[in-house]
Structure formats: structure tokens, C-alpha cells
């Protein structure tokens, strides 16, 4: 860049970025979590909001899942799009009436048509109406030949042109409390048949077992000695492929990536596993054992992978068309000596699903962000809502609550004209055994693309990436002491790539400073 014309960063009063400041990919916007913005908007399972009830206030949930579906509590809450509606997957479930179903290791599904993250989320559970114990007993995910006992769950799902598919996690040893034998299985969900079933005595199997996706135990694997990096997953279409983001060993994994041709999703033929970036480009292998993480759970910058002692439990990945970025949330950060200060919900973003991903930001910590003792039970101090809990005759006053499973709801994601990103996600709290809907907020700071800086005798131009609904103006100063002049041009973009050009036929001044700021509404 010519030294006679410089681009200056101004804090607070403008959204200007200096040429010396770089984000991922040199010019991607920087997303920064706004402290204190992570908020529990509502409880979505049960009839009564347990946090309010603990302080003597009675507020009801939007879905009233007890009186409508006999569901008192459950966990998980992964969601995905399906023909205009959202399908939600839940884990082990407890009923308000122990006689309604015989045990708690049941995994129901629900759907919703909500489109606004700020409005109450109304869930409608799929029900076994023709042949149920009662007329509104939920349908439970039970693929043929697969054990769906305690801690076995439908982890993720996706709707493709040839059907709706779930990836279920199974193999948990509930007797010995061991996850070492877990593996994941692709299951076809026959939603249309479920919605139209009429056979009272011989219900059709709505969940058809397909291939093993990943296994911790090599004896269950095929093709190679898999390392079990995709036991719990997040799914997303990407062109002609399905992306599978995964975590492996329970609470001891980083995040991994594989890619399957959509046309081969059922068979898995042609699956490739991410093995790293070379000169910014992804490399792949047909063997899961060659996988390397796309994101590492390493909040204190300790040893690098594979010695980073990760703690990730579940992961969620979505895409924001407004800012052209992939967004990720996960629960982790617990394997440190920081007394819980690094544990919680993390957020990262990237220009491509293989990265490079930004350094994860801790966006929800139970203690820092008013969770523990407020809507998550604090067993140490006996504050907050105690129960309901799962697990038989468990004293709810002795079971600690925790934040787990942050699953973003892609359709709720929004970007404002003031350069603010809002994400919405479900989160399980364990005690009380329920799911809440959370919101976190991020500032979006555009970054100048250094390669776009062009200075000629009579022209100076530069480009930056930002949300497509944003608008900017450029200020100019000759010496920074005489104030700023605002150019009247309003710079907008329908693609997310913005450009400004200052042209003066008689030539630009010998010295000039420019700053970029949001245009007034």
C-alpha cells in the first residue's frame, strides 16, 4: 500500500479496520461474543418452568409437554430442517406418570413450525395414536436390531431428497456405566408412514437400520481400524455432499470432519475424512484412522493435538447465509485445572467447513453467566431448581446440574443492520432434567481485505466482507487533526463483499486517512 494514503482503525465510534488487522482468511468479519449476552429464553420441556417455580412463581411452557404428551423431562434437543418444519430429537425421557410407559430409556421426536427465535417454541411430539398406551403417547426411536437403552440416543438428523435420516448412538453399557463400546448407526426415518399409519395391532417399523457410521471398538468397524471420531454427530448438506462433524470418546474428544456424497449417503461409499490443511486447502483420506481435528478443545493453549486432553461432549454446526460463515457450538473445556472457569459452551466460526476455524470463545459458563443456582441446580450450595431428575430413586438435592448439548437452530439465526449476530440453541441442564432455549449475541467487525487495497494517482479503493443487510459510509481526513468529512455514498452489497472507491480526476491529496463506519439507519 502507498504510504501517502493510509487506512486507519477507529474504535467505538466506527467499524473501521486497519490494513494491519487480519481475521480468518485475511478479510472475513470478526465475530466477538458480547459478554453477558447468553440468556435462557425459555424452558421447552415440561409444563412448569422449574427455575421460576423454585422462587415461588408459576409460569407455564409453550408446549405443555406433560399434559399433552406425558413428557416430564428429557435431554438433548438436536434439530434439523425437513420440508418447511423443524424436527427435534430428544434423549432418554421421563414421564409425569410412571404407569404411562415402563422405563425412562425412551427417545422421542418432535416437530415445530416456529420461525422466530424470540417467540415461544411450540413442540408437537410424534405420537403412537392408533396403538398407544394412551392417545398421546410419543413415538420413540427404536431402529430394528439396535439397542436404544439408557444413554443411547438419536444424536443427529438430516432431510435429503431420498428420505429423512438419523445417526443414532448406541452401545452404552448401562450396567458398568461404560461408553467404551459405543458406535453410531445410520437410520432411515419413515416420517410419511408414521404420519399416516392406521394399523392398530401391528405398527410398521418407522426406523430402519442401515450402516455403521463409526465405532470406538475396532471389532465393529469395517474397512479400517476406525478410531471412533463420529459417535455423536452434526449433519449439514454442502453442495453434492453431506458433511458429518463428529466427536468420539465420551467427553474426551476434539471435533472431526468427514464428507459423504449425498447420492451415497445410505451406503457410505466414497466417504472421505479430513486430514488437515495444506496451503489453506483441505486434504482427505478414505480411512477414518487418518482423521485430524478441525477444532481442538484446548482452552488454556496446552499441548497440541493429539495430546491436548480434550473434553468435548456434543457438537452443532450450521451455516449463516447472511455472513457467509459456518458456525459451531460445543460443550467442553472441562479438562483443565481452572476450577470450572473454562468449562461450558464454546463458539467458533470458519469460511469453509474444514476451516480454518477461529479460536473458540466461551459463550456460556454456568457460574459466570448466571446459570448455576438460577436455572441449573447448584448442589454445593443447594440453590436453584432441584429436579425433576432421571435415574430412579435419586435425591434431586444431591445431583449437580450442568450445561450440555448446545444445538443451534439454523432458521432462528439472524443478523441485524447494526452488525450484530444472534444465535439460538437448545441446551440440556441435567438437573432439572429438561431442555432450555438459549440466545447468545456477537458483534460483527468487518475486516479490510489487504489484497484489495489499490492506490493510483487519482483512485483509492478497498474491499471488505460483512453481512448482506449492512450498509456503510466512509469518512475522510487529510491529517486527523482537522476532523472528518463523510462521503455521501451508501455502500451496500447483495453478496457480502463490499467495495469503496474514491476517485478524483485531478488526483488524490498527498496524504489521506479513511475510516469505515455503519451508515445511519
- Sheet architecture: strand order including 512-518: 5-7, 512-518, 472-477, 485-486
| Tens-digit pLDDT profile for residues 111-167 | 999 999 999 999 999 987 544 445 678 889 999 899 998 899 999 999 999 999 999
Q: Which pLDDT band, with edges at 50, 70 and 90, does 478 fall under?
A: confident
Can you give the pLDDT at residue 203? Answer: 52
Can you give the pLDDT at residue 57? Answer: 96
Strand 124-125 and strand 109-112: pairing? antiparallel
Q: Which pLDDT band, with edges at 50, 70 and 90, does 222 fall under?
A: low
Instruction: Tell which wins on pLDDT, 322 or 23.
Output: 322
Q: CA gyration radius for the chain?
A: 25
Contact criterion met (CB below 8 Å) for 285 and 271: no
Can you give the pLDDT at residue 488? Answer: 81
Domains of the chain: 5-23+450-518 (2.60.40), 38-444 (2.115.10)
For the CA atoms of 311, 316, 321, 323, the dihedral, rounded to the nearest 10 degrees, stands at -20
Give one DSSP letter per residue of 106-133, joined into a string: --BEEEE----TTSPP--EE-B-GGGSS
Contact criterion met (CB below 8 Å) for 7 and 474: no
Res 21 pLDDT > 50: no
| Tens-digit pLDDT profile for residues 337-366 | 777 899 999 999 999 999 999 999 999 999
Cα(52)–Cα(186) distance, integer angstroms: 39
Q: How many residues in total does the chain contain?
A: 521
Cα(68)–Cα(4) distance, integer angstroms: 70
Q: Which pLDDT band, with edges at 50, 70 and 90, does 279 fall under?
A: very high
Task: Report the 3 state secondary structure along 361-386.
Answer: EEEECCCCCCCECCCECECCCCECCC
- Sheet architecture: strand order including 281-285: 232-238, 241-247, 256-261, 272-278, 281-285
Cα 220 to Cα 86, 170, 224, 252, distances in angstroms: 32, 12, 10, 20
| Tens-digit pLDDT profile for residues 57-80 | 999 999 999 999 999 999 999 999
Instruction: Tell which wins on pLDDT, 414 or 105.
Output: 414
Can you give the pLDDT at residue 2? Answer: 34
Lowest mean pLDDT of 41-55, 169-183, 221-235, 273-287, name the range. 221-235
**Average pLDDT score over residue span 311-334:** 96
The three cell numbers locating residue 516: 469505515
What is the CB neighbour count within 10 angstroms for residue 445?
17
Amino acid at each position: 500500500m502507498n504510504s501517502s494514503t493510509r487506512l486507519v482503525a477507529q474504535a467505538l465510534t466506527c467499524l473501521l479496520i486497519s490494513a494491519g488487522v487480519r481475521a480468518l482468511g485475511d478479510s472475513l468479519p470478526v465475530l466477538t461474543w458480547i459478554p453477558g449476552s447468553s440468556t435462557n429464553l425459555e424452558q421447552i420441556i415440561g409444563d412448569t418452568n422449574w427455575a421460576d417455580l423454585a422462587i415461588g412463581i408459576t409460569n407455564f411452557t409453550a408446549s405443555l409437554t406433560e399434559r399433552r404428551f406425558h413428557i416430564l423431562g428429557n435431554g438433548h434437543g438436536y434439530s434439523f430442517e425437513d420440508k418447511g418444519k423443524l424436527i427435534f430429537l430428544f434423549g432418554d425421557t421421563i414421564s409425569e406418570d410412571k404407569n404411562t410407559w415402563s422405563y425412562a430409556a425412551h427417545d422421542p421426536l418432535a416437530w415445530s413450525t416456529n420461525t422466530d427465535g424470540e417467540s415461544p417454541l411450540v413442540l408437537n411430539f410424534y405420537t403412537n395414536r392408533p396403538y398407544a398406551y394412551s392417545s398421546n403417547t410419543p413415538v420413540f426411536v427404536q431402529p430394528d436390531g439396535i439397542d436404544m437403552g439408557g444413554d443411547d440416543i438419536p444424536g443427529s438428523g438430516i432431510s435429503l431428497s431420498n428420505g429423512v435420516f438419523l445417526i443414532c448412538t448406541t452401545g452404552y453399557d448401562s450396567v458398568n456405566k461404560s461408553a467404551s463400546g459405543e458406535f453410531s448407526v445410520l437410520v432411515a426415518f419413515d416420517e410419511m408412514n408414521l404420519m399416516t399409519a392406521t394399523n392398530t395391532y401391528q405398527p410398521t417399523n418407522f426406523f430402519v437400520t442401515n450402516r455403521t457410521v463409526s465405532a470406538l471398538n475396532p471389532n465393529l468397524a469395517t474397512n479400517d481400524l476406525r478410531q471412533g471420531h463420529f459417535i455423536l454427530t452434526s449433519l449439514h448438506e454442502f453442495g453434492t455432499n453431506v458433511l458429518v462433524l463428529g466427536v468420539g470418546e465420551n467427553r474426551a474428544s476434539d471435533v472431526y470432519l468427514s464428507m459423504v456424497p449425498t447420492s451415497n449417503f445410505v451406503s457410505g461409499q466414497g466417504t472421505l475424512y479430513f486430514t488437515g490443511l495444506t496451503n489453506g486447502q483441505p486434504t482427505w483420506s478414505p480411512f477414518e484412522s487418518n482423521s485430524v481435528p478441525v477444532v481442538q478443545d484446548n482452552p488454556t493453549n496446552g499441548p497440541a493435538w493429539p495430546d491436548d486432553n480434550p473434553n468435548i461432549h456434543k457438537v452443532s454446526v450450521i451455516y449463516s447465509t447472511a455472513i457467509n460463515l459456518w458456525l459451531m457450538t460445543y460443550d467442553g473445556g472441562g479438562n483443565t485445572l481452572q476450577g470450572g472457569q473454562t468449562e461450558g459452551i464454546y463458539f467458533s466460526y470458519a469460511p469453509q467447513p474444514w476451516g480454518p476455524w477461529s479460536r473458540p470463545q466461551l459463550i456460556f459458563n454456568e457460574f459466570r453467566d448466571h446459570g448455576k443456582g438460577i436455572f441449573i441446580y447448584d448442589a454445593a450450595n443447594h440453590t436453584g431448581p432441584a429436579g425433576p431428575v432421571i435415574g430412579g430413586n435419586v435425591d434431586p438435592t444431591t445431583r449437580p446440574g450442568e450445561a450440555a448439548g448446545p444445538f443451534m437452530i439454523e432458521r432462528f439465526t439472524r443478523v441485524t443492520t447494526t452488525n450484530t449476530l444472534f444465535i439460538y440453541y437448545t441446551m440440556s441442564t441435567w438437573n432439572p432434567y429438561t431442555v432450555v432455549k438459549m440466545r447468545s449475541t456477537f458483534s460483527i467487525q468487518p475486516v479490510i481485505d489487504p489484497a484489495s487495497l489499490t492506490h493510483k494517482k487519482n483512485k483509492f479503493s478497498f474491499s471488505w466482507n460483512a453481512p448482506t443487510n449492512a450498509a456503510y459510509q466512509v469518512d475522510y481526513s487529510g491529517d486527523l487533526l482537522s476532523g472528518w468529512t463523510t462521503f455521501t455514498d451508501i455502500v451496500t452489497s447483495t453478496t457480502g463483499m463490499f467495495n469503496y472507491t474514491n476517485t478524483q480526476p485531478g488526483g488524490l491529496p498527498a496524504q489521506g486517512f479513511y475510516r469505515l463506519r455503519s451508515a445511519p439507519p
